[in-house]
Structure 1
């Protein structure tokens, strides 16, 4: 008998789906990921890069005094080497802390130092890597609707029959209502499945609209209240624009937990941590990917000149900033690609690790002192000794935030928002084709 399952990817907050029949897997239904999307639209680019054309004197004064931009050969050499643990602008070695690994695996050892989250979950195979948290998004809904007999079909069908949405006369508003209800219905099912929190994607079309983001989260909360999902089990995933950070800060003050996504720069993470945002998600591997073929970003070029992997360097710098200042934010490293990334980030709150890497860690016996060291590379005590520039520790405002983003963040943030919007439009188009359902 054929077995059907859904695969959702927590790493990006998006979803993909595959049909498994017997021992054969079909190709994943892939969404438009940030690194595969086309160039961002001029509207989005101009919205986040008003200061890019001509650097201000204040920007020039804080630029690194390290030599010229690394050559392509040098960039490749650094990016192939083992990442160094970075401080605000230097290197620190964390205090060695051996863990008990008698008869244990590498996965057992690293799980004592960071919370490990699989980046994919096959619903009929929880025993290997049980999910601890989940994200519901437009692309997850696309994955569900793209398969016959997929799990949670009924949750989407019931959203299309939701009475309040069906009374809305405007087609765009009605489709938006269907999307919100479908996200909540599936999110409510995932809450029953995982012990941790479920993050719900907020419409990226509102990425530059602070009141709109707040209103949309309130709408989603009201729908979750209807199905009696406790608010402490929920996060709301918001793009890391300045407007997104403002909205998340307002919501956190109301007691609503938020999850900032598409974070590629210190400016985004520093402003978010000052704003009291619950979870900040950094994309380590994607920063490295950009650095392999691009240059001109101050922070990336500085990390490379110091012999550091720019993604690892950013995560370490942000960790040190958060813990030095006592902010409440938890850090999540996504786009982790290999064991080297994992061991370079031990001590970070959450590591989202590919299943193939987890399988390798699970199959390998932990032998202390050999290829990898089972010790925290990041510790609160070490962070306290790190020095940051005065301007980095002062309260971030919109002008400072915008001027410090850098070309990599501008490009990848805009592209990520475009990709998310494309998924939202796709699922709404699908809803428009199948609405009304037979019983409406």
Structure 2
């Protein structure tokens, strides 16, 4: 089974960890030649291998060549520094990105925000909160529309994390965003909607996917989240390997994490392995995306997973590491649909997930990390609205 970024992928533009540096970040995949940017890029083709292979093809010359033959690699690069080296092919528009755009008045995306703030439809709301929410939606969609013109893949749009425990609130928000996208000519097949993996978020995914609206479930830190999202039909499920590992270094009391540690396994990698095998053994349509990669070994241990978001410094290291044909070691594909068939699950893991057994299966790692991730999203959203309150109406309008 071959999965390419032209499926397309949902990863995307991220804000830098430091806005003081005034850089925006974009997770970039690769696909067929980009029609907008010059085709000078690191990857000419990135796709998962269609057939299981146990070792490195001796015709491949670098570690990067090897890993990209097994998994889609999504470079996480700086928009304004690396357009030529890493032309973006898929993107995410988020509250963090909006903040970053507003910190860089000369960026090409700033006009999309200013246009949103000048939209007369939002003026009719008497309450400031409603008006700012309207402007926020318009800004997300305007920027998303600009990105859709620049990338051949899908644009994933962050859904307000303040709705994370409100299934119908999420569905209404996605419908509102989708209507705005329709208004600027972006078709639904070019879009994903990024939703926190609470039970209510997963239920919203189920409803939206039943309508043909593609969802991207984020903040997955436990098997029950991944399995429930797969059962809901989520298009993309994103697991943060490094964050789960960091939690395990400083905490205890999570049975899922401790089971992995007793087997001598990294808990983040173990979760990806179990989720991948579950999805492929039982025929779910979901694609598995892995983020928070810390080093090259993480990538080697995940070869075969659908998508890997990797920092540029790791990709550069892979590119510079040559693997001659007579190299004594080989890079092994760790995950494949064939190997998934032989993975054994317990009866407890093969539940039809509902709200009760989902809640009882969420360990402290998933609860804390999910909460922390959503708190970050909520904080960024509030910052956007506070900023819009200060700069509305924009100059020259």
| CA separation of 1:11 and 1:335: change in aligned 2, threshold 3 A | farther
1:147 Cα deviation (Å)?
1.9
Checking the alignment, whether the CA contact within 8 Å between 2:237 and 2:288 is kept in structure 1 is yes
Aligned residue for 2:82, secondary structure, equals coil
After superposition, the C-alpha distances for 1:236-258 in whole angstroms (9 at most, x for unaligned) are 00000000000011000000000
Matches within 5 A, 1:123-134: 123-134=80-91
1:98 aligns with 2:92: no
Aligned residue for 2:193, secondary structure, equals strand
TM-score relative to the length of structure 1: 0.78
Aligned residue for 1:169, secondary structure, equals coil
CA distance in 1, matches of 2:286, 2:367: 23
| CA separation of 1:227 and 1:236: change in aligned 2, threshold 3 A | same
CA distance in 2, matches of 1:294, 1:430: 36
| CA separation of 1:369 and 1:347: change in aligned 2, threshold 3 A | farther
The answer to which of 115-124 and 309-318 deviates more is: 115-124
CA distance in 2, matches of 1:406, 1:12: 29
Match of 1:16 in 2: 16
| CA separation of 1:118 and 1:218: change in aligned 2, threshold 3 A | same
Match of 1:422 in 2: 379
Unaligned residue ranges in structure 1 (runs of 5+): 1-9, 20-25, 32-93
Checking the alignment, whether the CA contact within 8 Å between 1:343 and 1:373 is kept in structure 2 is no
| CA separation of 1:336 and 1:198: change in aligned 2, threshold 3 A | same
1:322 aligns with 2:279: yes
Match of 1:196 in 2: 153
Checking the alignment, whether the CA contact within 8 Å between 1:213 and 1:244 is kept in structure 2 is yes
Checking the alignment, whether the CA contact within 8 Å between 1:213 and 1:247 is kept in structure 2 is yes
> For the aligned residues, what is the CA RMSD?
2.2
After superposition, the C-alpha distances for 1:270-324 in whole angstroms (9 at most, x for unaligned) are 0000110000000000000011111110011111111001100000010011111
CA distance in 1, matches of 2:60, 2:189: 37
1:377 aligns with 2:371: no
1:235 aligns with 2:192: yes
Aligned residue for 1:382, secondary structure, equals helix
Q: Pick from 161, 170, 181 the counterpart of residue 127 of structure 2.
A: 170
Match of 2:106 in 1: 149
| CA separation of 1:407 and 1:347: change in aligned 2, threshold 3 A | same
Aligned residue for 2:108, secondary structure, equals coil
| CA separation of 1:11 and 1:303: change in aligned 2, threshold 3 A | farther
Match of 1:269 in 2: 226
After superposition, the C-alpha distances for 1:38-59 in whole angstroms (9 at most, x for unaligned) are xxxxxxxxxxxxxxxxxxxxxx
Aligned length: 363
Structure with greater contact order relative to length (CA < 8 Å, sep ≥ 6):
1
TM-score relative to the length of structure 2: 0.87
1:375 Cα deviation (Å)?
2.9
